[in-house]
Each structure stands twice: as C-alpha cells, then as structure tokens.
Amino acid sequence: MSRYQIDKLLRDLRRDPELATRFRTNVETVLDSYKLDAAESALLKGWEVRALYDRGVNPLLLLLAHGPAAGKSMQEYAAAMNPKHRPGD
Amino acid sequence: MAEIVAGIACSHVPFMASPKQWERLPEAVRTNLRSGFERARKILEGSHPDVLITFADDHFDRCFYDNLPAFLVGVGEEASGPAVPGFDLPDVCVPIASNLARFIVREGLEGGVDFAFSEELALDHAEMAPMIHLTPRWDIPIIPIVVNAFAPPMPTPKRCFDVGAFVGSCIERWPEKTRVVFLGTGGLSHWVGPPQTGKINEEFDRWFLDCLARGDSEEATSRYARYEDLEAVAGNGGHEIRDWLAVAGAMPAHLKPAVLAYEPVKQWSTGTGIMAWSA
C-alpha cells in the first residue's frame, strides 16, 4: 500500500480548496495524479476512513482532509471511524 | 548576559482561538482556563521578555514526510501565520530574534544538536492559539522551534528535554543582555483522528503535570519513553508533551514550576493544561 502517497494526497486536500472541490466533482482526475493502486483509490473514493486507518494512514491527516474533501462533518467522521464511539464520551 | 526569566507550557487546542468555542464550555471550566491563561500572561508580561522561544509542533502544515526534521528553528527576519487559515486565527506577522536564533543553531551544530533551520517558517495554531491569550499584541520577538511530536518516528521525550536544556544553555552563553521566556505548547492527552477520537485520559494528564510540578523530569521522560506506550496512554496528540518537556529542560533551578489550570475539556476533546515556571 502506498501509505506515503495517500498521506500526501490527504495533506494536499487539506491545503488546497480547489483540489478538495475537484475531489468531490471529478475525483478520477485527482487520483490519477498520485501513485495509487485500484484498491487504494476505491477506499479513498468511498472515504473508508477506518479501513484506511487500519492500513496505516495517518489519522490526523484523515481527519483534516475529511471535512474539506468529503464534505462531511466531524460527527460523521467519528461515526465512520468508530461506530460505537460518541465524541466527548 | 542573557537570562531565562520565565517559562510557560500549555495546550494549544485550536478551538481556544475562537470566542464561540469558549462559549461552548461550562462556566466553571471556562473560568478556570481563562484564569490560568490570565495568570500565565501576567507572569510572561511581568518578566519583561525581549525574546519568546517557542517549542511547538506541527500538524503537517509546515513539515511533511518529504522533509521532516526532528527540531527545526526559524531563523528568518519574521514569522507570519497562520500557515493554513482556519479556527478564527488572525493574520499576524511576528519579528524573529534572528541573531539569537542563528546563534542557537550554530551552537547546536557545533555542540551536538543537529538543528534544521528555516529562513521562512510560518506559524501554526500550535504557537498562535496560546499566543492569542498570552501575547495578544504580538510584539515580542520570537524564536519558533518546531519539534516533531506529530509524525512518527519522533525524538524521544528524554531527547526533547535534553534539547530544551541545550537551548537553555545557549541563552546563558549569549553575550547580549536579553531576557528570554520559553513557551511550550501541546497536549495533554487527546486523540485526533483515530477510533478513540474524543477520549481524554485525565489520570495521565494529572500524573504528567505532577511530575513537572515536582521537577521530576526523570519520571516524566522515562515512564512512557517508548512511542507506542505514550500513544496508548495519551493518544496521538499526547506526544505533544515533548514541547512541555523541552521547556522543563530549559528552566534554571531558581524558576519554580506551578500548575495554573487543568481541565479535561470534553467540548474540545483535549486534556487542557497550563503551567508556568517563575521566580
């Protein structure tokens, strides 16, 4: 797994609003710019944050990129990462 | 001769930069933390510092896996921030005490600490969120030192304490009359992004604060010396205690430590602490 390439994409999504928008509207053009295999691309397209974390992707980068690139809330991130966990508990 | 006149260590939750986020806190929690920051600000201002040396880490906004130093010193003429906008952080530009910063880097390279350095180092919420409360006029020249407490592998807690001690010794060798305050930011326990996100380990936080308040650096640096052990007990954000340990290492014996405030802040998902070393 290209953990570095995924971490790099997540860093870029966090820093570049245009890239984050394009990830939501034309994801293939974004993924094509990184050295990812089909399985990695599928996990990213589906924002399978728990599966990515379990494969060693940095959780801070996952959290930081998730909002701008997935367009989802912190609560949705937490639920996807750990369905049993409620933030603040 | 330069001298170290105070030290402060505190959490750097980005939410603390936002008035709206303070309103989310229960009144007793808000009052305690505001009081702690106020006391820390008075200690800082009462020390009349010429230079503020910060030990803070990053959040992949200044350093990344393509080039990741263990200790990075900003040596340019000024530091602007925030590196990435957000969290209600203001746009600021703070002068860097460049000559002293370059002296520290050279002393390190000749004396056993291989500092990286940057002519263009931005500020992160790691410095800015606490500085909003501690140096609200942004007028004290700074030396920002970024500690890798966020991207494993990291320097050990003991190494961070020792590098802090080395920087402290540099101040003692700096020939110009300069009053220096140290500020370390980060922690305490928090999990940012993993399945435990939102968890706080108050027992760990109070143990760590007690170690520093007692001056027991051996205990503070050795009990969770291994990366995995610290991660398990304090979270991926708990590694930021390295920034506190660097300040502790820099402190001369006549400056006495005291915990100013601690709250396990559920709304901020962070064990939030403030302490100071003062005469």
Record the tokens describing residue B10, joined without a space. 């505190």
Tokens of B116: 């990286």
Domain boundaries, chain A: 3-81
How many C-beta atoms surround the C-beta of residue B35 within 10 A?
A: 13
Q: What is the pLDDT of residues A43-67, one digit of tens each?
A: 999 999 999 999 999 999 999 999 8
- The predicted pLDDT at position A77 comes to 92
Residues 6+ apart with CB under 8 A from B29: B263, B265
Note which residues in 82-101 of chain B have CB less than 8 A from chain A. 84
3-state SS, residue B198: coil
What angle, 0 to 180 degrees and rounded to 10, lies between the N-to-C axes of helices B241-250 and B202-214? Answer: 10
Picking from A15, A62, A85, the nearest residue to B84 by CB comes out as A15
| CB atoms B193 and A58 under 8 Å | yes
Superfamily classification of domain B3-257? LigB-like (3.40.830.10)
Residue B269 at interface with chain A, using a CB cutoff of 8 Å? yes
Residue extents of the structural domains in chain B = 3-257
Q: What is the mean pLDDT of residues B26-51?
A: 98
The chain-wide mean pLDDT, for chain B, equals: 97
**Is the Cβ–Cβ distance between B187 and B237 less than 8 Å?**
yes
**Residue A75 pLDDT class (50, 70, 90 cuts):** confident
| Average pLDDT across chain A, whole number | 90
B109-118 burial code (b ≥16 CB/10 A, e <16): eeeebebbbb
DSSP per-residue string spanning B13-36: -GGGG-HHHHHTS-HHHHHHHHHH
Q: Does the pLDDT at position A89 exceed 50? A: no
Q: Do A4 and B59 touch (CB under 8 A)?
A: no
- Residue B204 — φ and ψ, nearest 5°? -60, -45
Q: What angle do CA A56, A61, A65 make, to 5 degrees?
A: 125
pLDDT at residue B219 greater than cutoff 70: yes
Query: Which ranges of chain B would DSSP assign to H, the alpha helix?
Result: 19-23, 27-46, 98-111, 125-134, 157-173, 202-214, 217-222, 227-234, 241-250
Q: What is the pTM of this model?
A: 0.96
* Cα gap B164→B251, rounded to integer Å: 8
Q: What are phi and psi of B69, to 5 degrees?
A: -75, 155
Does residue B165 belong to the interface with chain A, where contact is any CB pair within 8 Å? no
Interface confidence, given as ipTM, is: 0.89
